[in-house]
Structure 1
Amino acid sequence: MKQLVALILCLAAAAASADPVDQVLDVHVLPGFARLADETALLANAADAGCEERDPDLRAALNGALRAWAGVSHLRFGPTEAENRAFALAFWPDSRGMTPKALAGLIAAEDPVVQEAEGFAQVSVAARGLYALEFLLYDEGQAGNDPYHCALIRAIVRDSAGLARAMAADWHDRYAALMRAPGPDSPYRSRDEAMQELFKALGTGLQITADLRLGRPLGSFARPRPNRAEAWRAGLSLLLVIEALHSQRQLALLLAEEDAGLKARLTDAFDRALGDAAALDDPALAGVATPAGRFRVEALQQRVNEIRQVVAQELGPKLGVSAGFNALDGD
C-alpha cells in the first residue's frame, strides 16, 4: 500500500513539473486532433448508412465534426496547414460565396470526380469539407436525394475524414516530437520558440472567435450580417463559439500553469464570456438583426476581447513570448 501511495505521489509530482509544451501537446493538441479524426470517421460512417440531405443522423454527425473542428481551429500551424488541409476541411469564412457556386457546378455537370478520392482531392476547396457539407444538408435550395447528391455527400465526407486522419497522424507520428525536441532538425530552434507557437495559436483562436465568429454576423449597426455567421444554416453558430472558448480556455490555463494568480484571472475572464454565451439563447446569432440582440452579441464579443487583453498583457510577458504574426495576418 505504501508503495502504491508513493507511486501516485511520484506521478503527481511528475505531472506537476511537466514541461508546458509537453503538457499542451499531451492534454490539448493530440487529444483534440484525435477527436477530430474520430468525429469525421463517424460522419463518414453516417453517410455510408444513409446520405439523404435531411437525415437526422447525418446532420448530428456533422454537428459533432464541426464541434471537434472548433476545438482545434486555432492550431493553424504544422500538420493543420500542410498540404492545404485546413482550407480543404474548413473553408470558412467564404466571403465571396464560392461554396454554393462550386457545388452547383459539380451538381449541374454531374461531375464524375466524386467517384475517385484522388480526383476529388483536386477540386476547389470551396466544394470540399465540413462547410460545403453543411450547405448541402441545410440549404433550402438543395433538392432531392438523387444518386449524384448522394455520391457528392459521400465524396465530401470521405475526403474530410481523410484530411482529419492525416492531421491527427502527422501530429502523433511526427510533429509533436519536433516540438518536444527543438534544434537543427526541428522547425523550432528552442523551447521558447515552441512555446511562442502555442501562445500565438491561443491569440489566433481568440481573434477568430471575436473578429470572425462574432464580428462577421455583427457587420455594422446599419447593416448587420446574420447570414455570415459560422454554420448558421445548421443553427450551430453560438455552439461553435462556446466550443472554441472551452478549448481556448484549456490552452490558456495550461500555458499559465505555473502562476496561480494568472490562472485565476484567466479562469474568471473565460467564465464571464462562457456565462454570457450560455445566456444568449440565439443559436444562429440571428439576433444581431435587432438592436437588443446586437447589444448582447457585442457584449459577448467584448468579453472575448477582455480575455485577449489578459493574454496579451499578462500571459505573454509571463511566458517571455509575444504573439508575433499569426495565420490571420494579411487576410
Structure 2
Amino acid sequence: MQPTGSLTPVLLGISLLILGVGTMHASAHTAVHAAEAPSQAPTEAQWHTLNSAIIEQHVMPRYQLLADNSATLEKQVQQLCDAPSLETLSVARTGFNAAQASWQGVQHIQFGPVTLLMRNYSLQYWPDKKNIGAKQLSAALASKTLASKDPASTDQRFDEEFFRAASISVKGFPALERLLFTNKHLIDTADTAECSLAHAIARHISDTAASIHTEWTEETRLISAAGENNMTNDDSIPAYETPSEAATEFMKSLVEPVDALRDTKLLSPLGASAAQSRWKKSESWRSEQSINNIRQNVIALHELYSGTQPLSVKTLLVASGDSVSAQLIESEFKTISEQLAALPAITDLKITAAIRQQLLQTTEHLLVLQNTLEQAMQTLNIQLGFNSRDGD
C-alpha cells in the first residue's frame, strides 16, 4: 500500500504509528526518518561503556540468579527423594518453576561460556521434534532398574560419567520437568530410579549454572579489553578486536530471540485455528509455564534494550538520530508485556478461540518489534550476520 499525496511525510508517519498499521510500518518509518537528522553510529568508546553496563547490570545478575535458584532446586529435589510426599513434591515443583524462570531470563544470551560443550542445549533441549528426550529418559531409567534387579550387575549411577556420555536431551530442564510433573512414581517410595535421575539432573543443572556464572569473569575481561591487545588463552587470536564487535554479540542476543518467540514459542503451538492448536508443542506445557516463559523472555529483552545505565541500546539509538525507532521499540515491549501479563496460565491443552486471538495479537506486535529492531541495527551500524534459525 502506497502513502497518499494528501499528507506530508511526517504527518503520514505519525498517523500510521498511531493507527498501528503493521503492513505500512516501513513506509511510515521512512517518512518520519526524512525529517530527522542524519544518523551517526555510536563510537567505540560508547560501545565499550554499553558493554560494561550490560555485563554488570544484566548478564552477571541474571546468571547469578540462575545459579542460586538452581542450587535451591537441587536441594529441594534431594529432599523429595529423601522423604517423598505430596508436600515435598510440591516444593520441588515450585523450585523447578523458579529455576526455569531464571533460565528463561538469560536464555537469550547465546554466546560465551554457555556455548562451551553445548551447555545451552544441555540446559534446554527444545523443541524436541522427534521426542528424543522421552526415549532417552526411558532408556536411562530402564538401565537403572535392570541394574538394581541384577545382583551381579554394577549399579547404573547417574553421576558425572553418566552425563558425559548421555544425550543432551536428558540433562536439562525439559527432562526434569517430565520427571517432576508427569511421573507418578516419585512419591511412591524413596530411592526410586525416577527420583535418582531427577536429583542427578537437578544437580547437573546447578553445577552447569554455577560454572557458567564463574566463567563469565573471564568473558568479562575479554570484552572489557576489546580493542586492546587482548588475546585468548593461546595468545594468538584476539577474542574481540573492537568494542563494537563484542557489542554485536549482545545485539544478536537482543534481536534474534524475538523471531523465536513469535514463530516457535507461539505460532507453532497455536496452529491454523483454535481447533488445530497443539499446546503440547509449547515450551513447558507439563508445568503450565509456557506463557510465563515468554513473559520472562520479554522482560529480559526489554531490560537489555533500555534498562542499563549510563547507556542503553535505546539511548544510543536516540543519539544516533533514530528517536522514532527508539520509542516505537520501547512502546512495543510495553504493549507485549501488558498483553502477556493479562493472560492466565494455560492449564487446558485445548486453546480457546479468545486466548488464541489474544496470543495472535501478541505475535503481530512481536513482528513489528522484530522488524524495527533489525532496522535499528542498521542505524547503529551493527551487522548481525548469520542467524542460526535461518537454516531451520
TM-score bracket, normalised by the shorter chain, equals 0.7 to 0.9
Distance 2:263 2:271 in 1: 10
Which stretch of the first structure deviates more once superposed, 38-47 or 143-152? 143-152
Which stretch of the first structure deviates more once superposed, 275-284 or 58-67? 275-284
Distance 1:93 1:284 in 2: 20
Partner of 1:264: 327
Give a deviation string over 1:253-278, Cα, whole Å, max 9, x none. Answer: 13223345454332211110011111
> TM-score when scaled to structure 1?
0.87
Give a deviation string over 1:141-185, Cα, whole Å, max 9, x none. Answer: 66644522221111101111111111111112x111111222551
Q: Residues 121 and 159 of structure 1 are in contact (CA less than 8 Å); yes or no, is this contact kept in structure 2?
A: no
Partner of 1:274: 337
Q: Residues 48 and 244 of structure 2 are in contact (CA less than 8 Å); yes or no, is this contact kept in structure 1?
A: no
Q: Which residue identity is paired with 1:179?
A: I
Q: Residues 47 and 243 of structure 2 are in contact (CA less than 8 Å); yes or no, is this contact kept in structure 1?
A: no
Write the mapping of 1:165-184 to structure 2, written as runs, cut at 5 A.
165-172=210-217, 174-183=218-227
Partner of 1:255: 313
Q: Which residue identity is paired with 1:22?
A: S
Distance 1:131 1:266 in 2: 32
* Shift in CA distance, 303/319, structure 1 to aligned 2, threshold 3 Å: same
Partner of 1:189: 241
- CA RMSD in angstroms comes to 2.3
Distance 1:17 1:196 in 2: 10
Task: State the Cα distance separating 1:317 from its structure 2 match.
Answer: 2.5
User: Of 217, 226, 231, which aligns to 2:269?
Assistant: 217
Task: State the Cα distance separating 1:37 from its structure 2 match.
Answer: 0.8
Q: Which residue identity is paired with 2:386?
A: F
* Larger helix share, 1 or 2: 1
1:300 aligns with 2:362: yes
Task: State which structure, 1 or 2, has the greater radius of gyration over its C-alpha atoms.
Answer: 2
Q: Secondary structure at the match of 1:256?
A: helix
Distance 1:257 1:18 in 2: 14
Task: State the Cα distance separating 1:223 from its structure 2 match.
Answer: 3.0
Partner of 2:182: 139
Partner of 1:325: 386
Distance 2:348 2:108 in 1: 21
Distance 2:85 2:249 in 1: 40
Partner of 2:103: 69
Distance 1:306 1:270 in 2: 10
Identity of aligned residues (%): 25
Q: Secondary structure at the match of 1:328?
A: helix
Q: Which residue identity is paired with 2:133?
A: T
Q: Where does structure 1 lack aligned partners over 5 or more consecutive residues?
A: 1-15
Distance 1:242 1:67 in 2: 9
Write the mapping of 1:1-331 to structure 2, written as runs, cut at 5 A.
19-51=49-81, 52=84, 55-110=89-144, 112-139=155-182, 144-147=188-191, 148-172=193-217, 174-183=218-227, 185=231, 186-221=238-273, 223-253=276-306, 254-260=312-318, 261=323, 262-283=325-346, 286=349, 289-313=351-375, 315-331=376-392
> TM-score when scaled to structure 2?
0.74
Q: Residues 60 and 216 of structure 2 are in contact (CA less than 8 Å); yes or no, is this contact kept in structure 1?
A: yes
Give a deviation string over 1:23-47, Cα, whole Å, max 9, x none. Answer: 1111111111111111111111111
Matched pairs, number? 313
Q: Residues 47 and 247 of structure 2 are in contact (CA less than 8 Å); yes or no, is this contact kept in structure 1?
A: no
Q: Residues 229 and 285 of structure 1 are in contact (CA less than 8 Å); yes or no, is this contact kept in structure 2?
A: no
Which stretch of the first structure deviates more once superposed, 118-127 or 142-151? 142-151
Which stretch of the first structure deviates more once superposed, 44-53 or 80-89? 44-53
